[in-house]
Amino acid sequence: MEFIAPLDALFLLAESREHPMHVGSLQLFEPPEDAGPNYLREFRDTLLADQTCRPTFRKRPATWLGAPQLAWTQDAEVDLDYHVKRSALPAPGRMGQLLDHASTLHSALLDRHRPLWELHFVEGLADGRFALYSKMHHALIDGVSAQRLLRRTLTTEPSNAPMPPWNLPRKERARAPRKDRGGLLGGLAAASSSTAALMKATRTGLLQQQLTLPFEAPRTLFNVPIGGARTCAVRSWSMDRIKQVKKATGTTVNDVVLAMSAGALRGYLLERDALPDKPMIALVPMSLRDADDTDTQGVKIAALLCNLGTDIADPLARLQTVSESTRRNKEVYRSLTPAQTLAVAGLMLSPMAAMLLPGFASMGTPPFNIVISNVPGARESLYWNGSRLDASYPLSIPLDGQAVNITLTSNGDNLDFGLVGCRRTLPDLHRLLDHLEDSLAAMEDAAA
């Protein structure tokens, strides 16, 4: 039996019917030209022939000394027929129908009596493509490691044999033994043992650099208690368009993405006469994983808080505000030791942990307005069983008091955006996609 790291356990303890705590992905594939009518059934059967599951795919929460969610146990046998499912959309097989289906799947809780993951193959799209919806509990995996896991199932050669996600070959790498086995909060406990380190982190990070702090955000229509039903909206944008704005303004791709999101949020709220006078604040997760970290267990994230400049009408002035805010916050982290980084990261993430607790969303001032996450993806064309990956839309977690989440990833020449919202609060979530396009176009026109 393995103890659950404190931050990972929090995602289990905070989960309820209204607050599912899994991360997901919706991938679209173009089958090979010679694919027959039984292609997807045969593909699934080929994957299921491999019944060996790695430890992450055998884990489920256990009760230890009468207390639930404190330790993991591993199933000796995994019912892959349950975890790997196949379905078809009814005619005419439009993208909207697929998103409705994905929204329903993303709203459902994972079964705690089984390992906490599912894969759903979906056929019947009118254009001949098929989809893969996948989800894993956030206690098992974070967004970066989930993206890397999916990436490792794919190959750059169409002819390579397909690999099942649950039994990928291990990727060994040379590194020093890990001393921190307790996740982020375990690291915080170690960091707190050094009073001098914490004092220096606070002085450098918060006073000298004027780090954006929690609870400076205005309340918006997004910052309300949410229900359990989800709605998903997805769209892809050309990376070239983002890079052209980046080049013309001397900013970064992530700055442009955040400003694009800021403009969309501003437009959405203006449309409803609900734009606050104060700028909205976004929590932007940052991975603490090394580039070659292949460990897929647990959560390893820090975060910065970004001023989105939603009170600014001029798109380039808004972009510069975003860029300055992210630059200043990143300078804080670059100036710190690993122990200090954990201390400041804990300060930034502590409101997020508190938001997982019941009733927190009803407090007067939200710690931030929205989570916007940019997860690195692949730049080359990828294949699975000869099928080309066309799009990979990440689907994350709206928190209580955070009715929408924006997550994106790079995929070839595109940036794939996945928006997940509370269905009750944001029945017209797709309108944010139109505002994202309008926001990017406004920056392009202004930078031309």
Which residue numbers are catalytic?
138
Question: Distance between CA 238 and CA 414 in Å, rounded?
Answer: 4
Residue 258's nearest CA partner among 408, 401, 397, 403 is 408
CB 381 within 8 A of CB 410: no
* Long-range contacts of the stretch 358-365 (C-beta < 8 A, 24+): 358/16, 358/400, 360/400, 360/401, 361/223, 361/224, 361/225, 361/226, 361/400, 361/401, 362/225, 362/401, 364/219, 365/215, 365/217, 365/219
Kindly tell me the burial class for residue 368, based on how many C-beta atoms sit within 10 Å of its own C-beta (0-12, 13-18, 19 or more): buried
* Cis preceding linkage at 20, omega within 30: no
Residue 376's nearest CA partner among 205, 282, 257 is 257
DSSP state of 28: E
Residue 287's nearest CA partner among 299, 269, 275 is 299
The 3-state DSSP class for residue 157 equals coil
Structure tokens at 222: 């997004």
Residue 102's nearest CA partner among 16, 193, 22 is 22
Question: Distance between CA 165 and CA 448 in Å, rounded?
Answer: 44
Kindly tell me the burial class for residue 294, based on how many C-beta atoms sit within 10 Å of its own C-beta (0-12, 13-18, 19 or more): middle
Angle at 140 between CA 254 and CA 355, to 5 degrees: 65
Q: How many CA atoms lie within 13 A of 215 on its CB side?
A: 9
Structure tokens at 426: 């944001």
